Amino acid sequence: MFGQVKSLMRRVFTKEDNVKPALPQVISRDHHNISRSNISTNALKVLYRLNSAGYEAYLVGGGVRDLLLGREPKDFDVATDASPEEVKRVFRNCRLIGRRFRLAHIYFGREIIEVATFRGDGSGDRRSKDGLLVRDNVYGTLEEDAWRRDFTINALYYEVKTFSVIDHVGAIADLEAGRLSIIGDAAERYREDPVRMLRAVRFSSKLGFIINEETSKPIFECAPLMETVSSARLFDEMCKLFLHGYALNTYEQLRHYGLFYYLFPQVERSLEQQESDYPKTFIARGLENTDQRVSENRPVIPAFLLAVLLWEPVRTRVAEKSEQGMRPMQAYQEAADEVISQQVKSISMPRRISLQVKEIWIMQAKLSMRRGRKVFELLESNRFRAAFDFLQLRHQSGEEVAELYEWWNSFHQTNYEEQESMLSQLRKREGPAGGRRRRNPYRRRRPSGETTGE
């Protein structure tokens, strides 16, 4: 994976391979693999336009990192010495966003290029008493900007005027070594913004990089700082952590560092309490499936992921309620509501999504009932696929739902006649209501005129 960077390093440091390069290091066009053809044309437009308006402008962050690693960047960010207001004057299709730090978003149809003004050295920052950065809108130079970024590998700048890459922080050496290093004192940087701990895990999983010790060790003691992060921001971070193809590794690392508890407290507690392997197997398989889908370019939805992660607390509550004599449907409804209302204290989610999560769980109850003609309604519901996949996951992870799973697996794939025959077999075996007593819809109709007396 790091072939291109390694060859880049060989060419830059031919003889003195072990000598640390002096910083800043400028890597010219012939010594790196970034080509303009790999950069989005809209990002290039932004760079050229800012340059011709007399401003400095660089591609920065994940875009440069990923291009150097030969990966396809997720998005392109630009850093400039123009103030946000000056950027707005250059682009008509521009909106300024952010309160803490003003950023310019330049719109090109569905693509947004984010343009940030160089940040200063922090002398004008305001911090809360526990070190959290509450305002940092002092602008600065490129070098100051580099030192304010989170990890060295995220602080590389590509200048389109000269086609060179600028490294102020030792990023190239870290890229070559496959190492994630925070810039500055880790504990201090985590206090400023605890989300950096999640980002450390995310980049290490995504890139397969090792987190260096100065960066990783303080995470264990700084993890509780996660409580200060807003639940809305955590929803966005959660999606980035789990929906981009490396969810399983991310989850394992989050648990290792004690960060997972702050995202999903109920789940962490249930994993610690449960003696059986089922919940762990279930989550691991669910995340593996998600990763597989991403690698096949199939859609993944946050609701399914949340339904998987939160299943064990729901299952435990359903079991408790059923033991107390509650009917399955009500048990599922109540358990789902309780688990979601606990969860949103840590990670808020749009109502649309919490409803989808709940539906996946409630459909587990419905799938197990197999009530007469209702099975066709279930089959046609647009949540059937998600609910069936969920049932499959339960089955594959060792929950005792084999018969149910096999039945639905045949039922949803077969023709109507066969479905009718499967239903009538089920009725013979379990009675008309799938084992439950209810009004018999198949009873002989009374001749007209005869009343029931009801």
Least distance to ligand ATP, CB of residue 96, Å: 17
62 lies in the binding site for Mg ion (CB under 5 A): yes
145 lies in the binding site for ligand ATP (CB under 6 A): no
Q: Which of 349, 316, 309, 351 is nearest to 332 (CA)?
A: 316
By a kind-dependent CB cut-off of 5 to 8 A, residue 269 interacts, out of Mg ion, ligand ATP, none, with none
For residue 299, whether the previous peptide bond is cis, meaning omega lies within 30 degrees of 0, is no
62 lies in the binding site for ligand ATP (CB under 6 A): yes
Residue 372 near residue 423, CB atoms below 8 Å: yes
Which pair of tokens denotes residue 287?
């995340």
Least distance to ligand ATP, CB of residue 231, Å: 17
Q: Which of 403, 396, 363, 357 is nearest to 380 (CA)?
A: 363
149 lies in the binding site for ligand ATP (CB under 6 A): yes
169 lies in the binding site for ligand ATP (CB under 6 A): no
193 lies in the binding site for ligand ATP (CB under 6 A): yes
By a kind-dependent CB cut-off of 5 to 8 A, residue 154 interacts, out of Mg ion, ligand ATP, none, with ligand ATP
Applying CB under 6 A, among 61, 194, 286, 313 the residue interacting with ligand ATP is 61
DSSP 225-269: GGGGS-HHHHHHHHHHHHSSS-HHHHHHHHHHTT-HHHH-HHHHH
Helix axes of 384-396 and 302-309: crossing angle, nearest 10 degrees: 30
Binding string, 4-43, against Mg ion, x = CB under 5 A?
Answer: ----------------------------------------
Q: How many helices (H) and strands (E) does the chain have?
A: 22, 12
Q: How many residues does the chain have?
A: 454
195 lies in the binding site for ligand ATP (CB under 6 A): yes
Binding string, 101-140, against ligand ATP, x = CB under 6 A?
Answer: ----------------------------------------
Classify the C-alpha dihedral 334-340-343-344 as positive or negative. Answer: negative
- Rounded to 5 degrees, φ, ψ at 160 are -75, -20
Q: Which residues pair with 72 in a beta bridge?
A: none
Q: Which stretch binds ligand ATP (CB under 6 A): 166-174, 193-201, 218-226, 246-254?
A: 193-201
Q: Which stretch binds ligand ATP (CB under 6 A): 148-156, 348-356, 415-423, 425-433?
A: 148-156
77 lies in the binding site for ligand ATP (CB under 6 A): yes
Spell out where 172-216 has E strands. 179-180, 210-211
Distance of CA 442 to the CA centre of its chain: 49
196 lies in the binding site for ligand ATP (CB under 6 A): yes
Least distance to ligand ATP, CB of residue 62, Å: 2
Least distance to ligand ATP, CB of residue 339, Å: 29
Active site residue 75: yes
* Interatomic CA distance for residues 200 and 17, integer angstroms: 28
Residue 449 near residue 434, CB atoms below 8 Å: no
Q: Which of 28, 33, 35 is nearest to 12 (CA)?
A: 28
Report the residue closest to ligand ATP, judged by CB.
62
Burial grade of 377 (CB within 10 A; 0-12, 13-18, 19 or more): exposed
234 lies in the binding site for ligand ATP (CB under 6 A): no
Nearer to Mg ion, 75 or 121 (CB): 75
Least distance to ligand ATP, CB of residue 358, Å: 29
338 lies in the binding site for Mg ion (CB under 5 A): no
Active site residue 77: yes
146 lies in the binding site for ligand ATP (CB under 6 A): no
DSSP 364-412: HHHHHH--TTHHHHHHHSTTHHHHHHHHHHHHHTT-S-HHHHHHHHHHT
Q: Which among 81, 145, 150, 291 is annotated as catalytic?
A: 150
Applying CB under 5 A, among 13, 33, 71, 75 the residue interacting with Mg ion is 75
Active site residue 150: yes
Least distance to ligand ATP, CB of residue 148, Å: 6
List residues with catalytic annotation.
75, 77, 150
Residues in the site for ligand ATP, rule: CB under 6 A?
Answer: 61-62, 74-75, 77, 149-150, 154-155, 193, 195-196
What does the binding site for Mg ion look like in residue numbers (CB under 5 A)? 62, 75
